[in-house]
Amino acid sequence: MNLSFFDQFTSPCLLGIPLILLAMLFPALLLPTPNNRWITNRLSTLQLWFLHLITKQLMMPLNKTGHKWALILTSLMILLLMINLLGLLPYTFTPTTQLSMNMALAFPLWLATLLTGLRNQPSMSLGHLLPEGTPTPLIPALIMIETVSLLIRPLALGVRLTANLTAGHLLIQLISTATTVLLPIMPTVSILTTLILLLLTILEVAVAMIQAYVFVLLLSLYLQENI
């Protein structure tokens, strides 16, 4: 029984072929394709407004140099947002519950921001490791602490996204199982559990959107420190 709760996090396979790549590419298939009515189409207009809103929010902490990253950050935001939301549908798989995928997204982008800072302004980037006015005896300890905190950033990004989505999916499955079991025994309690499940589902929709935004926002803040 305990293992069955975690079966939802295993990558589905068809004829021995993992379908995680299909789950990652499926959100892109939902986007409308360009046609002669690209501007006048209401769905496309709503999509362009949403993309403009996301891009504006992500670019606010950055200066003009960081605006070159707008396409990468906005595309990552849309990808994570759609994957997280589609993963809440029944009989679906959420790739962002896999730590390996989240680390594969977080580590290269974090490393790119770090290398950008070391290439453009190495003195200022290394200066973050030692705050100004630090007493001399504390310098070695503070450099080690700041270095560890710098290297742990991609791990924190991946673990935060994985843990929040995994915990939400487990809570939904646990409460839905309790609702089904209690229905023939205690219908009143089962109805109350169903209400809790509905509220939790709404909360998980909000968590799916917030975690995608936090993931990309933190990357933009790391980029701002290095440009």
Rounded Cα distance between 89 and 199, Å, is 15
* Mean pLDDT for the stretch of residues 1-29: 68
* pLDDT of amino acid 38: 55
The predicted model gives 23-37 an average pLDDT of 68
3: which 2 tokens?
Answer: 């293992």
How much of the chain, in percent, has pLDDT values that exceed 90? 19
Q: Residue 94: which residues within 8 A CB-CB, separation 6 or more?
A: 9, 23, 83, 84, 86, 87, 88, 165, 169
Mean of all residue pLDDT scores within the chain: 82
Q: Which residues contact 216 (CB under 8 A, 6 or more apart)?
A: 58, 73, 76, 77, 80
Tell me the three state secondary structure of residue 13: strand
- Angle, to 10 degrees, between the axis of helix 99-120 and the axis of helix 153-182? 160
Asked if 193 contacts 175 with a C-beta cutoff of 8 angstroms, the reply is yes
Residue 176 structure tokens? 């839905």
Task: Kindly report, residue by residue over 108-134, the tens digit of the pLDDT.
Answer: 999 999 888 888 887 777 777 777 777
Find how far residue 41's CA is from the centre of its chain.
29
Torsion (CA) 204, 106, 96, 100 in degrees, nearest 10: -140
Strand pairing category for 17-18 and 13-14: antiparallel
* pLDDT confidence band for 1 (50 / 70 / 90): very low
pLDDT given at position 62: 81
Q: Under a CB-based contact definition with an 8 Å cutoff, are residues 59 and 67 in contact? A: yes
pLDDT tens digits, one per residue of 51-110: 888 888 888 878 888 888 888 888 898 889 888 888 888 777 788 888 888 999 999 999
What's the pLDDT at 7?
A: 64
Most confident among 18-27, 63-72, 201-210 (mean pLDDT) = 201-210
The dihedral formed by the CA atoms of 212, 217, 218 and 220, expressed in degrees to the nearest 10 = 130
Which pLDDT belongs to residue 32? Answer: 63
Q: What is the pLDDT of residue 160?
A: 92
Residue 29 has pLDDT above 80, yes or no: no
Judge whether 88 and 201 are in contact, CB under 8 Å.
Answer: yes
Please determine, for residue 215, whether its predicted confidence score (pLDDT) is greater than 90: yes
